[in-house]
Amino acid sequence: MSSRVVLGVGAGIAAYKCCELLRLLTESGYRVRVIPTPDALRFVGEATWSALSGEPVTTDVWTGVAEVPHVRLGQSADLVLVAPATADLMARAAAGMAGDLLTATLLTARCPVLYAPAMHTEMWEHPATQANVALLRGRGAIVLDPAVGRLTGTDSGPGRLPEPAEIFAVAVHLLAGAPQDLKGRRVVVSAGGTREEIDPVRFIGNWSTGTQGYALARTAVARGAEVTVVAANVTLPDPAGAKITRVVSAREMRDAVLAAAALGGGADAVVMAAAVADYRPEALSAAKIKKDGQPPEPLRLTENPDILAGLAAARRDQAAACQDTPNHDPERSGLVPPATVRQVLVGFAAETDTSPETARAKLARKGCDLLVVNPVGNGLGFGTPDNEAVVYGADGTVTPIPRGPKEALADVVWDLVAARMNESVSHV
C-alpha cells in the first residue's frame, strides 16, 4: 500500500511552486491529499490541486462531515507536509488552533510533520515567528529554514521557499522512517572542492562537485539537525533547510568552518566532506601568465592549513583548559566541561590507496573520530550519484559501506556520528 501524504498549502505566493512538489510526490507513487487554507485558493485554485492529485480538495471541516475528515485525515497520514508554511499558519499551528481543515488535521496527526516556510525576511526574523518555530520544533515537528534569495517584488533575503525537489528529498527520507536522532543538534558539513588562484584566469582545483557533502546535509536535516554547509564552488541546488556559507579557497574554508564549529556553543559534529587543496601557489600573478614562447617561471607551492587537524587541536586545547581550571565552574570560567565540548569530528579521504594501513595512519594524523575512506576512479567518487567507503573509527571500529546512493552512505555516517554523540552525553 502506498504511503499517504497530506500536503497542506498556506496562503503565500510560493503556493504555485507546490504544484511541482505535488507532481514529484504523486509520480513517486505516494497518495497525496491536498488541503489548502481558504486563502491559499486565491493563489492556486481547487481545480488545479484536484486534477494534479486525483483526490478531492476542500478547506473546511463540513464537507463530507460523515467521514469526519478533520480527524481521519491526520490519523491516516504517514506524513503531513506544509508548504508554503506562512507566518500566520505556523502561528495558528503553534497555538493549537483548528479553524480550518488543515489546522485541525495538524492537531490530529501522529506522523512526522514537515514545515517548509516561505515569507518576507522581516516576517521570518520577527521574534514571534522565531518563537513559534522553536515551539513547533520542540514538539517534534521539522521546520526547515527558508532559502535565501529573491522574494516578491524587488526584495531579497532569507524567506524564500526551498526548491520543490529539495523539499521532496526531505519528505522521502521522513517517509522512509528517518530517525530523529539529530534533533536539537547543530552540525557543520563542508562540501565541494576548493580552488587556489594562479592568476586571474587559472586555478589549482579538483573534480569534486559537492554531491556527497550535500547528501550529508540533506539527510542531517531530515534527521532533525540544524545544518550549516560550507560550500566551495558548488553549483547544485541548496539542500532544503540548511544554511549555506560559500567559499572559494582552502583558507576561506578554514575560516568559515572554524567560525561555524566554534566550541562552547558551536557545532556538535563537523563532517569534512569537501576536497580541500593541500597546496596553493606561493604567489598570485596579478596578470594572466602568457604563452609567449618562453618557458614560464616554475610554479612554487606552499601548504594549505589542515582544517580537520586544526579542529582536533582546538578540541584538545579546550578540553585541557577545562581540566586545568582549579575548582572548575563552567558558568564562572566560561569554559565548557570536557564531555560537552567533545565535538564528533569526521574526515573524508578520497584515495587511490585505500589500504587499512594508509587509512589508520591518516586517521591518527588528523586526530578525528571517524575517517571515511572512499576509492576514486573507475566510475567512483567525484561527480557520481553513488559511492562506497570504509569508515575507520578512532576506537578501532571498521564499518564497510557497499556501493550505493550517496544518501545511503550519508545515513550510515550519521548513524555512527549519532552513536558517538550519545556516548558523550551519557558521560556528562
Residue 252 main-chain phi, psi, to 5 deg: -65, -40
206 classed as catalytic: yes
pLDDT (tens digit per residue) in 264-295: 568 999 999 999 999 999 999 999 998 888 88
Give the E-state strand segments of 287-385 in sequence order: 301-303, 344-351, 370-375
pTM value?
A: 0.90
Residue-averaged pLDDT of the chain:
91
Alpha-carbon distance of 399 to 408, in angstroms, equals 14
Q: What are the residue ranges spanned by the domains of the chain?
A: 4-175, 186-426
Answer yes or no: is pLDDT of 14 > 90. Answer: yes
Grid coordinates of 103: 489546522
Closest CA to 233 of 207, 261, 259, 201: 207
Contact (Cβ atoms closer than 8 angstroms) between residue 314 and residue 345: no
Measured CA distances, 324 to 334, 336, 367, 427 (Å):
13, 12, 21, 19
pLDDT at 68: 62
Cα angle at 402 between 401 and 404, to 5 degrees? 110
Cα angle at 96 between 91 and 100, to 5 degrees? 85
Give the E-state strand segments of 193-257 in sequence order: 196-199, 202-204, 226-232, 243-247
Other CB atoms within a 10 A radius of the CB of residue 255 amount to 16
pLDDT at 5: 98
Pairing of strands 79-85, 113-117: parallel
Candidates 1.10.730.10, 3.40.50.10300, 3.30.70.2190, 3.40.50.2020; correct CATH number of 186-426?
3.40.50.10300
Cis ω for the linkage preceding 84 (within 30 of 0): yes
Closest CA to 124 of 180, 182, 84: 84
Percent of the chain exceeding pLDDT 70 equals 92
Distance of alpha carbon 21 from the chain centroid: 19
Alpha-carbon distance of 207 to 193, in angstroms, equals 7
Domain 4-175: which topology? Rossmann fold (3.40.50)
Q: Which residues pair with 5 in a beta bridge?
A: 32, 79
Pairing of strands 226-232, 202-204: unpaired
Measured CA distances, 394 to 68, 133, 242, 330 (Å):
55, 37, 28, 28
Among residues 132, 206, 233, 304, which one is catalytic? 206
pLDDT at 319: 77
Alpha-carbon distance of 222 to 206, in angstroms, equals 29
Alpha-carbon distance of 142 to 153, in angstroms, equals 29
Answer yes or no: is pLDDT of 35 > 80. Answer: yes
pLDDT (tens digit per residue) in 200-255: 999 999 999 999 999 999 999 999 999 999 999 999 999 999 999 999 999 999 99
**What three-state secondary structure class fits 179?**
coil
**Confidence tier at 422 by pLDDT (50, 70, 90):** confident
Grid coordinates of 273: 566532506
Compute the chain's Rg from CA coordinates.
Answer: 24
Adjacency order of strands within the sheet including 31-36: 31-36, 4-9, 79-85, 113-117, 142-143
Alpha-carbon distance of 296 to 257, in angstroms, equals 36
Alpha-carbon distance of 128 to 108, in angstroms, equals 24
Average pLDDT over residues 158-171: 97
Amino acid at 258: L
pLDDT at 384: 87
Same fold, 4-175 and 186-426: yes
pLDDT at 40: 97
pLDDT at 13: 95
The separation between the first and the last C-alpha atoms of the chain, rounded to the nearest angstrom, is: 44
| Burial grade of 25 (CB within 10 A; 0-12, 13-18, 19 or more) | buried
Amino acid at 348: F
pLDDT (tens digit per residue) in 316-357: 888 777 766 555 554 444 444 333 447 999 999 999 899 999
pLDDT at 355: 94
Please count the helices (runs of H) and the strands (runs of E) in the chain: 15, 19
